[in-house]
């Protein structure tokens, strides 16, 4: 994981990771990356590939990303890092073929208090899901397939 620039003068928040990668994601590494002696809370999220979608059995899944995906992810992380309650942010999304149970999205946020950390992590995940130009191709047990979040 390559940490992008994120520290700002007057605001000690850092974006520790904001990465789109084909490598497996490590939740513990994201949590460790946002560790901060001022933090009383670290909240993390791991979105994993499930074996079903809308009542159909998923047999394979692949994420494909637009070339701008890494820049968009960094932009979202930087925006969250501008929140004065947030001390550090780490977020990654995986692309390529994934197996059932693999982590597709991992995020971690540290703050002084738990309520702020839960809220910040939820905002981060929601913004990533809404804005990141990454599309999911699912193949189902019945041989049908679909693209999700495709423009």
Q: What residues form DSSP beta bridges with 110?
A: 42, 88
**C-alpha distances in Å from residue 124, one per residue of 23, 48, 98:** 21, 16, 22
Q: How many angstroms separate the CA atoms of 113 and 146, rounded?
A: 41
pLDDT at 14: 83
Q: What are residue 98's DSSP bridge partners?
A: 61
pLDDT tens digits, 134-146: 999 999 999 999 9
Mean pLDDT of 117-130: 97
- Answer yes or no: are the C-beta atoms of 91 and 77 closer than 8 Å: yes
Model confidence over 47-95: pLDDT tens digits?
999 999 999 999 999 999 999 999 999 999 999 999 999 999 999 999 9
CA distance 150 to 138: 12
> For residue 111, which of 81, 87, 82 has the smallest C-alpha distance?
87
> Which residue bears the tokens 């990454």?
134
Both tokens of 29, joined, read: 């590494």
Q: What Cα–Cα distance (Å) separates residue 44 from each residue in 41, 102, 123?
A: 10, 16, 12
């Amino acid at each position: 994981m390559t940490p992008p620039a994120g520290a700002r003068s007057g605001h000690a928040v850092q974006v520790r990771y904001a990465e789109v990668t084909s490598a497996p994601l490590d939740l513990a590494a994201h949590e460790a990356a946002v560790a901060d002696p001022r933090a009383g809370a670290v909240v993390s999220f791991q979105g994993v590939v499930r074996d079903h979608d809308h009542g159909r059995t998923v047999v394979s899944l692949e994420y494909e990303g637009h070339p701008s995906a890494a820049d968009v992810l960094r932009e979202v992380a930087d925006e969250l890092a501008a929140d004065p309650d947030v001390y550090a942010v780490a977020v990654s999304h995986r692309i390529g073929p994934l197996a059932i149970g693999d982590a597709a999205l991992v995020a971690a946020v540290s703050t002084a208090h738990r309520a702020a950390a839960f809220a910040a992590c939820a905002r981060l995940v929601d913004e990533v899901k809404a804005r990141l130009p990454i599309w999911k191709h699912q193949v189902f047990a019945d041989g049908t397939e679909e693209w999700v979040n495709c423009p």
